[in-house]
Amino acid sequence: MAGKQRSGSGRRVSSSKLNDCLHLLVRSALVSMLVAPSIFFLFQRNLLDLFSFVDRDDSSRTPILAYDTSAEVVTRSSLHPFRDESPYLEPRVAVKKLLSVEQAEGDGAFVRRSIGRPEMKQLDPFLLLDHFAVAPPAGFPDHPHRGFETVTYMLEGSFTHQDFAGHKGTIGPGDLQWMTAGRGIVHSELPAKPGVQRGLQLWVNLPGKYKMVEPKYQEIDHQNVAKVDENGVEVKVIAGESHGIKSPVYTLTPIMFLDFSLKPGAVAHQDIPQGWNAFIYVLEGKVTLGTKTATPVSAFHTIQLGPGNGLSVWNTQDKLCRYVLIGGEPLGEPVVQYGPFVMNTEKEIRQAMQDFRSGRNGFEKSQTWRSSPIIVA
């Protein structure tokens, strides 16, 4: 009996410990039920934050800037600012660098040519980029074009455009004109003020199917140029789209033309569609692109970019830097150029020259039209 009592006493002690353990497990389970969802939520949120910048659609990814496009308000995400590295899986880097030096062009004008020189004859779909400096009486008097588009973007001063289709306009700092030469146009571009006028002129090739369209002229005032200005980075969207903000300019060739200004210490990230050709031209200061440890590139350099889905640029200097980023979808067509005529074949070039000389097939007004004198006051 004594043995059984000890045994029974042992069982009673074990039952008490078992009950304590059960109570502890129940309390733990209740706490877990309350805490676990929060832990899972936080874990899930961290996962979403982590992968929110790895977007499968690179063309719509905006890793740094989030936009309310309806109001054109820009805010910077506090998550993953990527101050020291590029957020892109395949960042674009420099593959060619050229310094543009001044050369004479037009009637007494001077330009720094980047695209369109022997070292970089073309970068499909771009034919030419000139950084011009013109003071009266110099300029670009009446001359023809066929087969492409010209884009004039003013940096300083004013320029007056006239053409035989009846278009006339004067553009000042930050304004632009987009002229589709199409089947034929004769126009002039002359300074409208005393002193040196500075700007950029870009030539954009047209696909063969659009080379003979009717001429078109678009003029955009600087107040109507789409802009983003936040955290030391200002972007003016001359053509195309940047972070959800679109330019009002209509283009026949898919391109982007963006004017960036970065304060000291700022960094800009810009998506660029895969397969597009792209380059930057440095207007002011020095830029560090691709990686923050790259060698800074100074003003008046053209930098051709390699393949990738985006570009990161840092201002590691103590002064403002400014550059234009230009990119476009390659046409993949033959290019035959003779001065102001750009077509697909030599036969088409000969035809363009004959049409201009004889005043036909789009050049009917070229025989009698002359631009009006510009009075500079």
User: What's the pLDDT at 72?
Assistant: 32
| pLDDT at residue 57, as a whole number | 40
Give me the residue spans of the domains in the chain.
94-351
Q: Residue 2: is its pLDDT beyond 90?
A: no
User: How many CB atoms are closer than 10 A to CB 113?
Assistant: 20
Q: What is the CATH number of domain 94-351?
A: 2.60.120.10
- Pair of tokens at residue 280: 């930057």
Percent of the chain with pLDDT over 70: 78
In a 3-state reduction of DSSP, which class is residue 36?
A: helix
Other Cβ atoms closer than 10 A to 25: 10
Which band of pLDDT confidence, cut at 50, 70 and 90, is reported for residue 20? low
Q: Is the pLDDT of residue 367 over 50?
A: yes
Least confident span in 54-63, 78-87, 190-199, 208-217: 54-63
Provide the whole-model pTM.
0.78
Cβ neighbours around 55 below 10 Å, total: 15
Question: Around 241, how many Cα atoms within 13 Å sit in the side-chain half-sphere?
Answer: 15
Tell me what the mean pLDDT of segment 266-275 comes to: 97
Average pLDDT score over the chain: 84
pLDDT of residue 38: 43
Query: What pLDDT is stored for residue 76 in this prediction?
Result: 32
The arithmetic mean of pLDDT across residues 287-292, rounded, is: 94
**Whether residue 128 has pLDDT greater than 60:** yes
Cα dist from 155 to 16, 89, 107, 301, whole Å: 88, 34, 20, 17
Q: What is the pLDDT of residue 27?
A: 56
Predicted confidence band of residue 8 (pLDDT cuts 50, 70, 90): very low
Residue 243 banded pLDDT, cuts 50, 70, 90: confident
Q: Among 334, 294, 333, which Cα is nearest to 97's?
A: 294
Which range has the worst mean pLDDT, 76-90, 96-110, 164-178? 76-90
User: Residue 25's pLDDT is what?
Assistant: 53
Question: DSSP secondary-structure letter at 188?
Answer: E
pLDDT of 361 strictly over 50:
yes
pLDDT band for position 5 (50/70/90)?
very low
- Residue 82's pLDDT is 53
pLDDT band at residue 28, thresholds of 50, 70 and 90? low
Q: Sorting pLDDT into bands at 50, 70 and 90, what band is 377? A: confident
Taking 70 as the threshold, does the pLDDT of residue 350 lie above it? yes
**Separation between Cα atoms, residue 124 and residue 121, nearest integer Å:** 10
Q: How far is CA 323 from CA 121, 172, 223, 281, 314, in A?
A: 21, 19, 20, 6, 11
Tokens of 214: 């009717």
Is the predicted pLDDT of residue 352 greater than 90, yes or no?
yes
pLDDT, tens only, 310-325:
999 999 999 999 999 9
pLDDT of 195 above 60: yes
pLDDT of residue 63: 35
Q: Please give the pLDDT value at position 55.
A: 38
pLDDT tens for each residue of 248-259: 999 999 999 999
